[in-house]
Amino acid sequence: MIPFLDLKAINKQYQNELKEACARVIDSGWYILGHELSSFEKDFANYCGSKWAIGVANGLDALTLTLRAWKEIGKLKDGDEVIVQANTYIASILAITENNLKPVLVEPDPQTFNLSVESIRSNITPKTKVILPVHLYGQISPMKEIMGLAEEYNLLVLEDCAQAHGASLEGKMAGSWGSAGAFSFYPGKNLGALGDAGAVTTDDQQLYEVLRALRNYGSHEKYKNKYKGVNSRLDEMQAACLKVKLKYLNDEIKKRRIVAQRFTSEINSSLVELPRCDYDEGHVWHLYVVRTKYRKELTEHFSKNNIQTLVHYPTAPHKQRAYQDFNMKSLPLTERIHDEVLSLPISPIMSGSDVDYIIAAINGFSL
């Protein structure tokens, strides 16, 4: 059986260092907002080429608290519009509505699944205040053009980097292009903790300071509360483990790229459409997502061959019960994507023979 992602085997590679890191935290007697976190924040900011990283409890909070911080700073107010691709994971949209902002759901580029500049431009209104590009599946969005638009219309840009740690465009990293970048370290992400964790990257000192307060009850100083903050902290244990795993992230990305390149050059089935990669050097292949009109049949074929596949994602956010207000919205391309996508197994520990086997299986698929 080829599993979709074998987290146990991925983390086993680093077990000695991870166990040492956990032991160090246990022995320190300090478990929240300590040296492990500030050290990881420094390493992660460095890695992303940003001035600061602020650790939070998860990726959703990284998005939600950044928008919230902009409200506290006075850059956003209730009802302002945020342009986001309609085919994203629901978290990107929850962060918007949680802040009483209005998500403007736009159709993505059909081949990269990311925001396209044309679709952003045609949806800008006087109420537009934020562009929220999600670097979906590990491919960075067209950030040069997006930042150009942001400058032209004076918009904030919040990059959703939950699937794109280490993705880059012309050497500039995801999370360092926009006004801020939101990351998730959910265990299955390319940089995964051993529990929940997230972070925001930014070069903006004011945003940095507000976020540091918001994640800790709105407090800069113990028992002084400037904002109605939340408890959303990245704990010492997760920070210590993330610090270990960050050292190996670039190696893991290289291994993912080798698998993706093989899929792209060796899969030749006329029944599936392969993902387009616009910025070859910068795609980190969190997911390898093909499209097919025959998803049900292909899934069954894989399953008969003992290959586990997943769908990211089966239902578009605007068709979810949680977003009943949007259920009548027509976004045909987004809906078709949700009906046709299938994610193949990809990971840094897949063997060459696993890759051979998956390629042979898909090339042998017939109706």
Which residues form the interface with ligand PLP (CB under 6 A)? 58-60, 88-89, 91-92, 134, 160, 162-163, 184, 186, 196, 198
Looking up tokens 């940095």 gives 208
Taking the complex as a whole, the smallest distance from the CB of residue 304 to ligand PLP amounts, in Å, to: 29
DSSP state of 230: -
Please identify, using beta-carbon distances, which residue of 54 and 362 lies nearer to ligand PLP: 54
Give how far the C-alpha of residue 352 lies from the chain's centroid of Cα atoms, to the nearest Å.
27
Taking the complex as a whole, the smallest distance from the CB of residue 255 to ligand PLP amounts, in Å, to: 20
Please identify, using beta-carbon distances, which residue of 195 and 363 lies nearer to ligand PLP: 195
Residue 334's nearest CA partner among 323, 346, 350 is: 323
Please identify, using beta-carbon distances, which residue of 192 and 348 lies nearer to ligand PLP: 192
Taking the complex as a whole, the smallest distance from the CB of residue 59 to ligand PLP amounts, in Å, to: 2
Residue 157, strand partner residues: 131
Taking the complex as a whole, the smallest distance from the CB of residue 310 to ligand PLP amounts, in Å, to: 13
Please identify, using beta-carbon distances, which residue of 341 and 362 lies nearer to ligand PLP: 341
Query: From the CB of residue 278, how many other CB atoms can be counted at a distance below 10 Å?
Result: 15
Residue 225, strand partner residues: 219
Residue 363's nearest CA partner among 313, 290, 311 is: 290
Taking the complex as a whole, the smallest distance from the CB of residue 57 to ligand PLP amounts, in Å, to: 8
Distance from C-alpha of 9 to C-alpha of 183, rounded to nearest angstrom: 23
Please identify, using beta-carbon distances, which residue of 287 and 362 lies nearer to ligand PLP: 287
Residue with the shortest CB distance to ligand PLP = 59
CA distances (Å), 190 to each of 11, 160, 183, 286, in order? 12, 14, 11, 6
